[in-house]
Amino acid sequence: MKTYQTLLTELEKGIFIITINREDKLNALNKTVISELNEAIDEVYTNSEIKGAIITGKGSKSFVAGADISEFKGMSEEQGKALAQRGHDVFDKIEMSAKPIVAAVNGFALGGGCELAMACHIRIASENAKFGQPEVKLGIIPGYGGTQRLTQLVGKGKALELLMTGDTIDASCASKLGLVNDVVQTVELIDTCKALLQKITGMAPIAIAQVIQSVYAHFKDGINGFDTEIELFGKCVATQDFAEGTAAFLEKRKPVFAGK
């Protein structure tokens, strides 16, 4: 496995755990973290041993407390656009991964941290997790997809409230809004994420990939999600996994999927 400056990675039973390792900075995102996250997600895409991934932060205090504001000082408009575009590119890659990626949110998920969690397919939060997009307090807006993904997850009215006030919400509130899928005790967080991924990765991998593609087609401009679903359903029917899944169902046994 590749060694990183700002990330810790481990592969365990097909699950790739990516830990942002800047605990003294509350795991804030800087240019190096973004670049290395991009490389780590490339590993998810290309390593056949990886079936799914977990993204989390080092320690129990913070998932990612935001962007490293020290890098923003003196930035020009064009540099700001380039910074935002880079974040979009990496977070879009996370969102469109054919393999499931779960955010294990352990503590603060603010600004870019909230945006990173929202780019993952599923979010599991510890009881002490806090979420927010406080960018307006700095005179800017979210730049890594926060205005779009927060609206998709919690609805326009609540998203506008959170984005315009910069308020922080706790894990319980985030769960009620649909921002997170589940809230668990801190000590159970990673094991809960592993168990969820093991359940998902036990299904047919092609079907999982097509579910992800179909769902996100709903949010893509110029793409009809229903048409995408029809096309991908047809492709699934033509796979060996479908033949195995139906045979196993009729024979009352557990299917063995090959991803073909």
Query: How many residues are there in the chain?
Result: 260
Backbone angles phi, psi at 2, to 5 degrees: -70, 145
Would you say the C-alpha torsion 242, 243, 246, 252 has a positive or negative sign? negative
CB neighbour class for 222 (10 Å; exposed up to 12, middle 13-18, buried from 19): exposed
> How do the residues of the chain divide into helix, strand and coil, expressed in percent and rounded to 5?
50, 15, 30
CA dist., res. 113 & res. 154, Å (int) = 17
Q: Which of 135, 229, 244, 251 is catalytic?
A: 135
Q: At what angle do helices 205-217 and 225-237 cross, to 10 degrees?
A: 170
Q: Which of 10, 39, 77, 115 is catalytic?
A: 115
List residues bridging with 184 in a β-sheet. Answer: 126
CA dist., res. 101 & res. 215, Å (int) = 15
Backbone angles phi, psi at 97, to 5 degrees: -60, 135
C-alpha 80, offset from chain centre? 23
Q: Are 202 and 254 spatial neighbours (Cβ–Cβ below 8 Å)?
A: no
Contacting residues for 169 by C-beta, under 8 A, at least 6 apart: 130, 131, 132, 162, 177, 179
Active-site residue 12, yes or no? no
CA dist., res. 197 & res. 193, Å (int) = 6
Active-site residue 251, yes or no? no
Catalytic residue positions? Answer: 115, 135
